[in-house]
Amino acid sequence: MVFKRISILTGHYGSGKTNLAVNFALDLAGQEKPVTLVDLDIVNPYFRSADFRELLESRGVRVIAPHYANTNLDIPALPAEIQSVFHQTDRMVILDVGGDDAGAIALGQFAPQIRQEDYDLFYVVNERRYLTRDVESALEVLREIEACSRLKATALINNTNLGEETTPELVVSSQGFAEEAARKAGIPLALTAAKRELAVPDAYPVEIYVRTAWA
């Protein structure tokens, strides 16, 4: 996969965007590219990329997270250092955006700077999550994200999974759903992601760092 300088990952809770964000950042670091991962959740969700700071930083990834990440405080405070990613143009950037309106609104604060950049806004979908089980529902979530963030999605990522119960057949069977959703949204299907050990042909292989309680 060819990454633009800024890659933004959006999607509903349970889409798997945080796990993808961690994988993307580590993959770029593995290519010896300077990379910053920005955790743009402004309240504490169930899972966030800041939870993997130690792993990421051990691989050379810079992590920027809200001041109250990894605490029991839900305070919407974004660090000023996020602005640095728009000035340090030699670094690749992964933005992990919260899976709700607040997350998209937080992203919208940076819309003017992002529009001046070479970027992708990926909409991550998981057909097996209850709010994106059909194409129209998935598109409704996308429209809400675009409206709140004041940015348009540039591509869709199919990350359909059932956690530990995911099979190669389930991933392959989701392809039609993802293709239809991308077509109706008017954006390309960038990739289908799947756990590396499943060895799904043509899928982007990922390691599972985020372990969900559902599925």
Q: In the predicted model, what is the mean pLDDT of residues 2-12?
A: 95
Q: In the predicted model, what is the mean pLDDT of residues 156-172?
A: 95
Considering its fold, how many domains does the chain have in total? Answer: 1
- Band (pLDDT 50/70/90 cuts) for residue 42 is low
**Beta sheet of 189-195, edge-to-edge order:** 62-64, 35-40, 92-97, 6-10, 119-125, 155-158, 189-195, 204-206
214 within domain boundaries = no
Of 65 and 29, more confident:
29
Are 59 and 30 spatial neighbours (Cβ–Cβ below 8 Å)?
A: yes
Amino acid type, 137: S
212 within domain boundaries = no
113 within domain boundaries = yes
Q: Average pLDDT of the chain?
A: 89
CB atoms within 10 A of CB 136: 9
In degrees, rounded to 5, the angle at the alpha carbon of residue 163 between the alpha carbons of residues 158 and 168 is 60
Q: Which residues contact 6 (CB under 8 A, 6 or more apart)?
A: 85, 92, 93, 95, 114, 117, 118, 119, 120
- Band (pLDDT 50/70/90 cuts) for residue 20 is very high
Closest by CA position to 202, among listed 164, 171, 162: 171
* pLDDT value at 214 more than 50: no
Are 37 and 96 spatial neighbours (Cβ–Cβ below 8 Å)?
A: yes
125 within domain boundaries = yes
Of 48 and 40, more confident:
40
CATH code assigned at 131: 3.40.50.300
211 within domain boundaries = no
Q: What pLDDT score does 49 carry?
A: 76
Range of the domain at 22: 6-206
pLDDT digits (tens, 9 = 90+) for 85-143: 999 999 999 999 987 777 888 899 999 999 999 999 999 999 998 888 899 999 999 99
Using DSSP bridges, classify how beta strands 155-158 and 204-206 pair: parallel, antiparallel or unpaired.
Answer: unpaired
Q: What pLDDT score does 172 carry?
A: 97
66 within domain boundaries = yes
Q: What pLDDT score does 190 carry?
A: 98
* pLDDT value at 179 more than 70: yes
Of 94 and 1, more confident:
94
Q: What pLDDT score does 74 carry?
A: 46
**What is d(CA 48, CA 80) in angstroms, rounded to the nearest whole number?**
19
1 within domain boundaries = no
64 within domain boundaries = yes
